[in-house]
Amino acid sequence: MKTFRYITRMITQTVFTVLLIYFFSADNNFKYHFTINWFMIWLVVSWFCQFYLMRFSKLLVGPDLSVQQLGAKNRLADYKYNHQRDKLGAVNADTTDDALNSSESDSDSLYFSIMIHLIYSLLGPLIFIIVFSFHWYRNTH
């Protein structure tokens, strides 16, 4: 499972990097012209950094961790904790289902995921330096 997630993340990062390279190399008619400049070199270095960064599951925000979903999950957990049980000991299913539906459907996780992938594609070397130095410091001390 971890290998599949790693490969999926690398394919996604590759797609984002290729789209960025195309976007910044295209002219005003969106015709691609091969150009080498410092930004293209930065994007290629950033893509190479993704091989190290995509190994860590906690670095990349997944599709179930948007702000709205976390709020709905916390609201559901709070409701279950504070709710008075009825005579049979069951939690009121209607309100619980509403909270579950809001945690699953009221999500903008696609936008957050796209933004996180773009940030990783654009700032890959900086994130790599921070993460690598943190892991190196933690392993040596």
Q: What is the pLDDT of residue 103?
A: 52
Q: How far is C-alpha 133 from the chain's CA centre? A: 21
How many CB atoms are closer than 10 A to CB 99? 17
Angle, CA 74 vertex, CA 72 and CA 78 arms, to 5°: 115
Largest Cα–Cα separation, the chain:
72
CA 57 from chain centre, in angstroms, equals 9
Identify the three-state secondary structure at position 26.
strand
pTM over 0.95: no
What is the Cα–Cα distance from 36 to 27, expressed in whole angstroms?
Answer: 14
Report pLDDT for 5: 82
Q: Could you list the pLDDT tens digit for every one of the 141 residues in the chain?
A: 588 888 888 898 899 999 988 888 888 787 888 888 898 899 999 999 989 888 876 666 555 555 666 666 777 777 767 665 555 555 555 555 555 555 555 455 677 778 888 888 889 899 889 988 988 998 888
DSSP count for the chain of H helices, then E strands: 6, 0
Identify the pLDDT of residue 92: 54
Residue 35's pLDDT is 82
At 41 the pLDDT is 92
